[in-house]
């Protein structure tokens, strides 16, 4: 008699299936609960491809592209489809490099042949054909030795070198038609579900692959070219190539031979050179520029950047004064609430903009102003006789979430303001087809800092991360083009250092915790890096803001 199992979906529906039914077949019975094709499953807190079979009773959940988990699966599957399409259009020996996130997609480059808009259109049409053909993403486990031998035969040395530092006996590969590739997390069931995307040619063999994200899952938005962000990414990528540190294996090779000290020095010098350039520019225009506004997403290093900018500006003979936006919060009872009835401290409406502008205007007119201090315990602004009056060579530095939003300083003439957008624009890849998400670097920084300074465990930070990202989408990213300049706070070596701090915290997440699958994904991601000792990280490094030992933070 055939064994029957019961599957419980989100405690809202239960259905029976024959043991050994694939999750893809199971998902069809629950597709009505989703707006987009189901891409991946969560079975008793274990993330599984839809090709897997179920043999016992379980609790189950599914994800489509409107979720963070499902969207990651969507993007990885799309990358593999791009790899296949490029080979079909341009030849089996031609490779595409999936570089880094930009706007609502990823920047890519074709290696070995010249491309233009018509070629990109052919590749896009080929990808659409691959969608129609409905190829399966087949999962296979191959011995590490055979995997390395396979990629050597194809001259895919980026894969060979990456796998050198992974100690698993067996490697999970995915096959799409006749191509095998390595991705470090789950893939979709078939190409038929990955049906929404656009390719946009830029220049110099570069193009952008755009696709729906969790904030716009229904459609692919047209690519918007953010010139400053694009150029900073491009410059940093070229710099990494000059150092011959383009991927995890390059970094690991320096670590394994003990030659990482110089890389630390060079990384710090690159970051500092940005601040030096900016301070030179501000000093030349110090007659007009009186307010520096620094903004950026969570864990991008705003605090250290603000502190170091003070030092650089003071070296030009300018006197600096930091003003915290937090001190201009509305009294708690006047703070707006979100749709859930909770105080929305991230909204610009939580700040007393009128008072902030009054104070800035008076300061620029060289009037004496008594500054407030916000009492977070009592939820009210207080005045403790902390007064400020500017002189000719004085500059105000404001670091906060809304610094780039013109509404924050609407009464101040633009010529008096200099806006700095800071972000962690990681140029490293795992290999040609596995990019490192900028948000993953920031997430690891945040996990380490939250544990050291706030006593949070990794699961706590991971639970908060979606709301953090929502705030960034609402209040930061849309204003990046308003910045006068961009500071890239990524350090080439930092993932090796963060591994030593973040990995134990991630391992502490219990298997029954809802954050366990995400913790496991980050653990698997960090396995691609050898640990880098933090001994030689300077005490004024932006990384010290997160791992402790900063001369700016104690």
The CATH number of residue 12's host domain is: 3.10.20.30
The number of distinct structural domains making up the chain is 3
Does residue 279 sit in the same domain as residue 359?
Answer: yes
Task: Quote the pLDDT of residue 336.
Answer: 87
The mean pLDDT value for 166-187 works out to 91
Confidence of residue 385 (pLDDT cuts 50, 70, 90): confident
Q: How many CB atoms lie within 10 A of CB 293?
A: 25
| Last residue of one domain, picked from the residues 225, 253, 287 | 225
Q: Answer yes or no: is 154 within a domain.
A: yes
Statement to judge: residues 313 and 379 lie in one domain:
yes
Per-residue pLDDT, 255: 94
- Mean pLDDT, residues 135-162 taken together: 93
Lowest pLDDT segment from 57-66, 231-240, 273-282, 354-363: 231-240
Question: Read out DSSP for 270-290?
Answer: HHHHHHHHHHHHHHHTTTT--
Give residue 427's pLDDT. 85
- Lowest mean pLDDT across 162-166, 527-531, 535-539: 162-166
């301070």: which residue's tokens? 279
The pLDDT of residue 153: 93
pLDDT given at position 9: 95
Tens of pLDDT, residues 493-516: 999 999 999 999 999 999 999 999
Whether residue 163 sits in one domain with residue 81: yes
- The per-residue pLDDT for 102 is 87
pLDDT at residue number 342: 82
The verdict on 515 and 421 lying in the same domain is: yes
Structural domain boundaries, residue 31: 4-64
pLDDT tens-digit readout, 427-442: 899 999 999 988 999 9
Q: Is the pLDDT of residue 462 over 60?
A: yes
**Residue 541's CATH number:** 3.40.50.300
Backbone φ and ψ of 29, nearest 5°: -75, -15
Mean per-residue pLDDT over the chain, rounded:
93
Shared domain for 151 and 219, answered yes or no, is yes
554 falls in which pLDDT band (50, 70, 90)?
low
Confidence band for 409, pLDDT divided at 50, 70 and 90: very high
Q: What global pTM score does this model have?
A: 0.92
Last residue of a domain, one of 200, 225, 250: 225
Is 375 within the bounds of a domain? yes
Residue 530 CB coordination number (10 Å) = 19
Percentage above 90 pLDDT, the chain? 81
In a domain, residue 551? The reply is: no
Instruction: Look at residue 343 in the predicted model and tell me its pLDDT.
Output: 82
Residue 95 counted as domain residue: yes
pLDDT band, residue 1 (cuts 50/70/90): low
On whether the CB atoms of residues 89 and 116 are closer than 8 A, the answer is no
Closest CA to 321 of 410, 252, 414, 394: 394
For residue 528, CA distances in Å to 165, 346, 425, 509, 531 come to 7, 35, 19, 20, 10
**Do both 57 and 74 map to the same domain?**
no
In a domain, 553, yes or no: no
pLDDT per residue as tens digits for the range 200-246: 999 888 999 999 999 999 999 999 988 888 889 888 989 999 999 99
Which of the four pLDDT bands, split at 50, 70 and 90, describes residue 112? confident
Do 177 and 279 share a domain, yes or no? no
In terms of domains, do 145 and 108 share one? Answer: yes
Domain end marker among 13, 37, 64: 64
Q: How far does CA 131 lie from the centroid of its chain?
A: 28
Asked if residue 196 belongs to a domain, the reply is: yes
> Residue for token digits 């006068």?
484
- HSE (side-chain half, CA atoms, 13 Å) at 95: 14
Backbone angles phi, psi at 211, to 5 degrees: -160, 165
Q: Are residues 133 and 110 in the same domain?
A: yes
pLDDT confidence of residue 363 = 96
Tokens for 224?
């918007």
> Looking at the domain assignment, is residue 554 inside a domain?
no
Same domain? For 200 and 294 the reply is no
Give the HSE-up count for residue 102: Cα atoms under 13 Å, Cβ half-sphere.
26
Distance CA 243, CA 286 (A): 35
Question: 86 and 47, same structural domain?
Answer: no
Which CATH number characterizes residue 158's domain?
A: 3.30.980.10
Q: Is residue 75 part of a domain?
A: yes
Measured between its terminal Cα atoms, the distance across the chain in Å is 69
Residues 6+ apart with CB under 8 A from 132: 192
Cβ-contact 76, 187 below 8 angstroms: yes
| Same domain as 362, residue 257 | yes
Task: Write out pLDDT tens, residues 32-90.
Answer: 999 999 999 999 999 999 999 999 999 999 999 999 999 999 999 999 999 999 999 99
pLDDT of residue 81: 98
């Amino acid at each position: 008699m055939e064994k029957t199992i019961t599957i419980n979906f989100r405690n809202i529906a239960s259905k029976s299936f024959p043991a050994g039914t694939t999750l893809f077949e199971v998902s069809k019975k629950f597709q009505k609960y989703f707006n987009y094709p189901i891409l991946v499953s969560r079975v008793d807190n274990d993330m599984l491809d839809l090709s897997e079979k179920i043999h016992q009773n379980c609790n189950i959940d599914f994800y489509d592209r409107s979720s963070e988990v499902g969207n990651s699966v969507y993007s990885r599957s799309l990358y593999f489809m791009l790899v296949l399409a490029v080979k079909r259009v341009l030849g089996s020996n031609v490779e595409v490099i999936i570089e880094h996130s930009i706007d609502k997609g990823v920047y890519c480059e074709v290696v070995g042949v010249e491309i233009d808009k018509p070629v990109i259109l052919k590749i896009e049409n080929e990808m659409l054909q691959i969608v129609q053909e409905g190829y399966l993403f087949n999962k296979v486990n191959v011995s590490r030795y055979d995997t390395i031998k396979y990629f050597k035969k194809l001259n895919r040395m980026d894969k060979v070198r990456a796998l050198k530092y992974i100690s698993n006996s067996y490697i999970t590969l995915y096959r799409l038609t006749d191509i095998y590739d390595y991705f470090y997390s789950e893939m979709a069931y078939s190409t038929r579900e990955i049906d929404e995307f656009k390719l946009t040619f830029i220049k110099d063999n570069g193009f952008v692959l755009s696709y729906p994200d969790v904030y716009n899952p229904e459609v692919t938005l047209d690519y918007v070219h953010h010139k400053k962000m694009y150029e900073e990414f491009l410059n940093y990528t070229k710099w990494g190539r000059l150092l011959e540190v383009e991927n995890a294996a390059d970094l690991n090779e320096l670590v394994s031979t003990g030659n990482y000290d110089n890389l630390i020095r060079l990384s710090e010098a690159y970051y500092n050179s940005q601040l030096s350039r900016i301070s030179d520019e501000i000093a030349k225009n110090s007659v007009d520029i009186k307010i520096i506004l620094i903004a950026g997403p969570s864990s991008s290093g705003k605090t250290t950047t603000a502190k170091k900018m003070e030092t650089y500006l003071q070296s030009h003979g300018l006197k600096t004064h930091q003003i915290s936006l937090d001190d201009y919060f509305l009294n708690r009872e006047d703070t707006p609430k979100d749709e859930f009835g909770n105080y929305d401290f991230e909204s610009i409406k939580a700040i007393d903009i009128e008072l902030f502008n009054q104070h800035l205007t008076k300061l620029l007119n060289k009037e004496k102003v008594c500054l407030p201090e916000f009492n977070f315990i009592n939820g009210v602004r207080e005045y403790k006789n902390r007064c400020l009056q500017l002189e000719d060579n004085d500059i105000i530095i404001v670091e906060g979430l809304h610094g780039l939003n013109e509404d924050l300083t609407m009464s101040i003439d633009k010529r008096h303001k200099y806006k700095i957008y800071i972000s962690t624009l990681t140029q490293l890849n795992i290999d040609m087809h596995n990019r490192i998400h900028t948000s993953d670097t920031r997430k690891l920084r945040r996990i380490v800092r939250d544990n050291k300074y706030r006593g949070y465990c990794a699961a706590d930070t991971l639970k908060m991360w979606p709301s953090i990202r929502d705030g960034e989408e609402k209040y930061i990213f849309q204003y990046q083009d308003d910045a006068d300049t961009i500071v890239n706070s990524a350090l080439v070596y930092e993932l090796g250092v963060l591994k030593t701090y973040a990995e134990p915290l991630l391992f502490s997440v219990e298997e029954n915790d809802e954050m366990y699958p995400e913790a496991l994904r980050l653990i698997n991601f960090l396995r691609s890096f050898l640990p880098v000792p933090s001994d030689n990280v300077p005490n004024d490094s932006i990384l010290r803001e997160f791992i402790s030992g900063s001369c700016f933070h104690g």
